Amino acid sequence: MVEAKNMCMRYSKCGDNALEDISFFIDRGEFVFFVGSSGAGKSTLLKLIIREIKPTEGELKVFGRDVGRLPRHRLPYLRRNIGMVFQDFRLIEDRTAFDNVAFAMMVTGATRREIRKRVPHVLGLVGLQDKAETRVCDLSGGELQRVGLARAIANRPAMIIADEPTGNLDPGTTFDIMNLLRSINLRGTTVLVATHNRDIVDRFKKRVLYLEGGKLVGDEQKGIYTHVH
Amino acid sequence: MMNKRGFILMFISGFRYIIAETFKGLYRNRWMCITSTGVVVVTLLMLGVFMLVNLNVGHITETVKEQVEIVVYIDDSAGQNELAELENMLSGHPGVAEARYISNEEHMNRLQRQLGGMLEGYDSGMENPLLASYEVKTVVPESVVDLAREFETYPGVSEVFYGQGYVENLFSVTRVIQLVGLALMVGLSITAVFLISHTIKLTVMMRKKEISIMKYVGATNWFIRWPFLLEGLLMGFAGAVLPLLALYYIYQYSVEWVIVNNLLFLNLLPVEEVIFELAKYLVPLGTALGILGSTFSMGRFLRV
């Protein structure tokens, strides 16, 4: 599903490599943590997968397509198969939870009937069926991230990418969100999570890719964060 | 580029959303939209006022120009052949629109009409001291000076009169007004483009988060652009129609004021004609400015 071969990424011509000689393969339905300290290259890797940036060297295939060669007009169709979850939620504050999820479906051309059926369903999956008509500015941090998750799964993507999804949450809410991601994964969706939260990595015991200084220094099945730190 | 079928399907499925989103966008960002439209209104109002003045100055000078003519006085001693040759040369000249013969009797009659009782003592039996002439209207009023010089060389011509000095001044003043008008209109149009694209850019910047979310969830650039383009179009259209309405009333009032104050020599163009002429320029200009402003302002935000 995601395959990197000797991939390098440099933000400027004379700058250091943000990622250096990265190779890995992630199969369909896997749950993978990308771990490492700030600046290790986790977010860069996720940006490459959604083709926000292109690798400067090497190859990165997502859903079997080389994203470095993907024309710009094909990007929306790649991204419709990827649900994004952000640390800062990136919701539209003056709209309701329903509107935020519906928004993601509308932009991909879903009909109103589909939206009316699907949005309450996904809000129910994340436990927010009663908050559908609440404006997101009136929701708590945990609830905001649940809306973010609901939006990410609304279009039934094959893969969820979460960049520090629990970075702004308290420990209790963190585990709720991670459990939701695990249940999404159990339904067959590939989940990639970038984090430096050792507790969740250690507790979930999923595949862990360790990044340090832009290099992939470890790849363990059922890994724990403390192996390299 | 998305293929044509994909674009049409996307457009049809998203049409409702785009229209709804356009009006929601206008409502949600109503203060910013009012500001943007206000900028378009003020700029186009200034441009409109200037166009009104320019149209009327043009109309008045054209009316004056139409009255400019060359009077070719015929030499008393000219024979029949010379007269016939002169008439052929004048009426056959490509720069001449009309050449009308005025006999010395007709000149005397005109003089008597103009002076009334002041021409006492003259009766038709006396020798007429006035010269017969041709009154020549030119095809292009600006060619009067050159043609007058040419006519002086024609056979049987005693003197040529065309309002020397006055005509040259009229033409140079007209040229200056036209040049200044053109410069001001170009300047105002450029200012309008800058102001409008800047204000719309602010509107777009306020919504850059929304745009980036749309990009992340897989919206195509056109799907994102449409509501903004329609918003720009509506703002530009409103920004053109409002000053047109204002100019209609201002101009109507000015025309009435000219009539009431008996300043009919100003010879202003009729309201309907002027407003139609302004609408022809301002509505497409305002709408195009709105669309262009949105398009240029969005480019950077679509590269996510």
Q: Is the pLDDT of residue B191 over 70?
A: yes
How far B27 CA lies from chain A's nearest CA (Å)?
A: 12
- Summarised one tens digit per residue, pLDDT across range A56-73 is 999 999 998 999 888 888
pLDDT recorded at residue B204: 75
Average pLDDT taken over every residue of chain A: 88
From A11-20, A84-93, A170-179, the region with the lowest mean pLDDT: A11-20
Regarding whether B51 and B175 lie in a shared domain, the answer is yes
Q: Does A109 touch chain B (CB under 8 A)?
A: yes
B176 lies in the same domain as B106:
no
Name the band, by pLDDT with cuts 50, 70 and 90, for residue B15: confident
Residues B265 and B298 in one domain: yes
**Looking at the structure, do residues B37 and B177 belong to the same domain, yes or no?**
yes
Q: Could you give the residue ranges of the DSSP H alpha helices within A107-229?
A: 112-125, 141-154, 171-186, 198-204
Q: Which domain, by its residues, includes B189?
A: 4-64+169-302
The stretch A5-29 carries a mean pLDDT of 87
Residues of A in contact with B1 (CB under 8 A): 73
Write out pLDDT tens, residues B67-98.
Answer: 788 899 988 887 888 888 888 888 888 988 88
Same domain? B54 vs B134: no
Give the list of residues 6+ apart from residue A25 with CB closer than 8 angstroms, or none: A2, A3, A4
Nearest residue of B to residue A108, measured between CA atoms: B219
pLDDT of B9 over the 90 cut = no
Q: Which of B5, B216, B222 to mutate to test the interface with A (most CBs of A within 10 A)?
A: B216
Token pair 């929304």 is at which residue?
Answer: B210
Asked whether residue B185 falls in the same domain as residue B297, the answer is: yes
Query: What crossing angle do the helices spanning A112-125 and A97-106 adopt, rounded to 10°?
Result: 130
Q: Which residues of A touch B216 (CB under 8 A)?
A: 50, 79, 84, 90
Tell me which chain A residue has its CA closest to the CA of residue B211: A92
Q: How far is B215 from chain A (nearest CA, A)?
A: 7
A137 touches chain B (CB under 8 A): no
B190/B238 same-domain check: yes
* Interface confidence: ipTM more than 0.85: no
End of a domain among B162, B189, B205? B162
Query: What is residue B241's predicted lDDT score, i.e. its pLDDT?
Result: 93
Q: Do B9 and A109 touch (CB under 8 A)?
A: yes
Nearest residue on chain A to B10, alpha-carbon basis: A109
Residues B181 and B288 in one domain: yes
- Beta carbons of A107 and B214 less than 8 Å apart: yes
Residues B20 and B106 in one domain: no
- pLDDT score for A97: 95
Give A213's pLDDT tier (boundaries 50, 70, 90): confident
Looking at the structure of chain B, the number of domains it has is 2
Does residue A129 belong to the interface with chain B, where contact is any CB pair within 8 Å? no
Task: Give the closest-approach CA distance of B9 to chain A in angstroms.
Answer: 9
pLDDT at B1 (0 to 100)? 45
Query: Among the residues of chain B, which ranges form H helices?
Result: 4-28, 30-67, 80-91, 104-115, 144-151, 166-206, 208-216, 221-260, 271-298
On chain A, the residues whose CB falls within 8 A of the CB of B9 are: 109
User: For residue A20, what are the contacts with CB-CB under 8 A and spacing of at least 6?
Assistant: A8, A213, A214, A215
For residues B7 and A124, the model is more confident at A124
Return the CATH number at B119.
Answer: 3.30.70.3040
Q: Which tens digits make up the pLDDT trace of B26-50?
A: 887 788 778 878 888 888 888 888 8
The nearest CA of chain B is from the CA of A229 a distance in Å of 33
- Do B266 and B181 share a structural domain? yes
Mean pLDDT of B102-112: 83
d(CA A145, CA A139): 10
Query: What angle, rounded to 10 degrees, do the helices at B221-260 and B208-216 form?
Result: 150
Domain edge (last residue) among B145, B162, B179? B162
Point out the domain boundary residue: B139, B162, B185. Answer: B162
Nearest by CB to B218, from A73, A79, A94: name it: A79
Question: Are B244 and B262 in a shared domain?
Answer: yes
Q: What is the pLDDT of residues A156-175, one digit of tens each?
A: 999 999 998 888 788 888 88
pLDDT grade, residue B13 (50/70/90)?
low
Which residues on chain A are in Cβ contact (under 8 Å) with B220? 73, 76
- pTM for the model stands at 0.66
Same domain, B95 and B136: yes
Of residues B154, B152, B139, the one with CA closest to residue B94: B139
